Structure 1
């Protein structure tokens, strides 16, 4: 995990394992994270998966705060703006990995999901299996770091992800219409803000598409698109310190006025006001 530069508040982290240049999985303890972390806000190009064994703390992911507590998991996807607010008393491990590291179809689908659960508690019945999978990964990753290069860390990462059973692994997220919709939104939300575009592109009636999205997320198709644009706008305002005009250009709005009206309607604040509150937080 290497800092490659920063813009005002946010440090951009890029995946570069310290031991093995070709490694796609890296592990560390919370003690090591405390040594590396300065308490600032970060944005990484890799996944961060953390297991909390003991202690309590706080983590902010994409401007929402989550508790760190005993026998819980944290998942921070690439691009998410995050900050370790308090991890002084937290014990456990962090797994860093690139999106292509998992080797099974199911684990790759979970890794590819654009809105993974940021935090969840691990049931007592699942903990022994999660703990065993984590310990096996730590053992094999340390062997690979010593020069015994194998695919075992990637395989065991997939096992760990499967054993963790993150909330977004539920069957409802496998809805075929929703999966096509979310993939299309991820690819095109900067250019297309209308749910009708996605219905036409995917060959579904607008009501069918919106019903599928609501079944999975509780939101309409339009609401899902709005939330995705707002999240990206917040990331741009926070990470890149872009003006409303630049955000409008990046996110496909005709001008800054249109973008500002959209942002205010969705958040209750103008882009500049929201950016200002973040700067003094």
Structure 2
């Protein structure tokens, strides 16, 4: 492997040869079918939102280099900008995975980035245990989605699946809204829009751009205003967000890509390996070489 893999739903389906009745906007995976867990043995990004529900057995995933255990009745939510790897699943693992494009999310009028407290919580804590009855209810949703997706004779299969997926995701949001978020701040609409726009731009450009000014210009605000806004809304400055994305990318490439330190520096648009080394050590307390050898 010589880089971080980025997959669309269409590429994922083609790679695993998975026929689920979905299309480029939705993919439904059930573990009692020939699920190709090996595909996620190495870190990758999916250009989609992933909602996974474990119904039996156990597993472990790493999201943004943080391990999370997946036990029965656990729901895991993964965003497109995240780097995910499946470390292991038990032989008796059972579950459902619903993979949804951002296009379908917009059509369903569902955008978690508009709910900043939910989005921030899931970024830091993507896995949550559910009440068993709630988990069974979501499982019935998944079974129905899969059944309708595989009904090749249905004239309105796409419309039915899209509607059911939207209902499933809204039901998940119902449960996520019940989580004990430590955020009682009221965020005005314009702030929500700017936060969402910043995260989307950061996801696209963090490998090439580390300047707050670059993102502020794209968003038509001043760097000072954007930094203070991000600090107020999320508790972290714009520069801290940028550094987090860059360091996460650097750590993943150093650990798993097979690239040399110089190649990683080039991949992340650092002018020299020395500059990259100083930046990395400033934010992690160790050199790229030390981290790579861990």
Q: Report if TM-score (shorter chain) is over 0.5.
A: yes
Instruction: Give the stretch that moved more between structures: 78-87 or 125-134.
Output: 125-134
Separation in 2 of the partners of 1:29 and 1:21?
Answer: 13
Match of 2:150 in 1: 142
Does the Cα contact within 8 Å between 1:9 and 1:41 map onto a contact in 2? no
The answer to whether structure 1 residue 59 and structure 2 residue 61 are counterparts is yes
Deviation at 1:67, TM superposition (A): 1.4
Instruction: Give the stretch that moved more between structures: 61-70 or 122-131.
Output: 122-131
Separation in 2 of the partners of 1:177 and 1:225?
Answer: 15
Structure 1's 118 and 273: CA in aligned 2 closer, same or farther, altered over 3 A?
same
Instruction: Give the stretch that moved more between structures: 222-231 or 141-150.
Output: 141-150
Separation in 2 of the partners of 1:22 and 1:86?
Answer: 25
Does the Cα contact within 8 Å between 2:247 and 2:280 map onto a contact in 1? yes
Structure 1's 146 and 64: CA in aligned 2 closer, same or farther, altered over 3 A?
farther
Separation in 1 of the partners of 2:133 and 2:37?
Answer: 33
Aligned length in residues: 268
Match of 1:269, SS state, is coil
Question: Cα deviation per residue 1:101-148 (whole Å; 9 max; x = unaligned)?
Answer: 4431315868xx898553223356854653443232122122249997
Structure 2 residue runs of 5 or longer lacking an equivalent are: none
Deviation at 1:250, TM superposition (A): 2.3
Match of 1:150, SS state, is helix
Provide the alpha-carbon RMSD of the alignment: 3.7
Match of 1:130 in 2: 138
Larger RCO (alpha carbons 8 Å, 6+ apart): 2
TM-score normalised by L of structure 2: 0.73
Match of 1:85 in 2: 88
Match of 2:206 in 1: 189
Structure 1 residue runs of 5 or longer lacking an equivalent are: 1-6
Does the Cα contact within 8 Å between 1:122 and 1:164 map onto a contact in 2? no
Question: Cα deviation per residue 1:184-220 (whole Å; 9 max; x = unaligned)?
Answer: 3233323331223333443434443223222443211
Does the Cα contact within 8 Å between 2:20 and 2:27 map onto a contact in 1? no
Match of 2:76 in 1: 74
TM-score normalised by L of structure 1: 0.76
Match of 1:151, SS state, is helix
Deviation at 1:257, TM superposition (A): 0.7
Does the Cα contact within 8 Å between 2:28 and 2:96 map onto a contact in 1? yes
Question: Cα deviation per residue 1:20-67 (whole Å; 9 max; x = unaligned)?
Answer: 68723332333446x633483352545442101234432222321001
Separation in 2 of the partners of 1:164 and 1:44?
Answer: 22
Match of 1:41, SS state, is coil
Deviation at 1:228, TM superposition (A): 0.8
Match of 1:105 in 2: 109
Does the Cα contact within 8 Å between 1:199 and 1:209 map onto a contact in 2? yes
